[in-house]
Amino acid sequence: MHPHEIPTVEPREVVDEILLDVREDDEWAAGRAPHAVHIPLYDLPERLAEIPEGRPLSVVCRVGGRSAQATTWLRAQGVEARNVRGGMLAWAAAGLPIEGDSDRAWIV
């Protein structure tokens, strides 16, 4: 699947669906979308069964590259997934909610 063929969604269009964050642990701790499911990209094959079912799935990383890889792989496994265009940087730029693991300002 070529990058231009990967189904995408704008951050503001992610509504009432499962948001899978494939960033590394330190990125996740620094700032994430509330209610996102965290499975780092390279753990995805072993942890596929942990992805909740029953709602559309959108995949996010920092800028969209790793989530595009994950989306392509997930679709090859039969999972209807979409890539969040622009990743968490676009999420933050759109003013969407972000939470983190510390009291300091959250960064993505």
- Set 61, 68, 74, 92: catalytic member: 61
Q: b or e along 15-49 (b: 16 or more beta carbons within 10 Å of the residue's beta carbon)? A: eeebbbbbbbeebbebbbbeebbbbbbeebeeeee
Is residue 61 annotated as part of the catalytic site, yes or no?
A: yes
The residues annotated as belonging to the active site are: 61
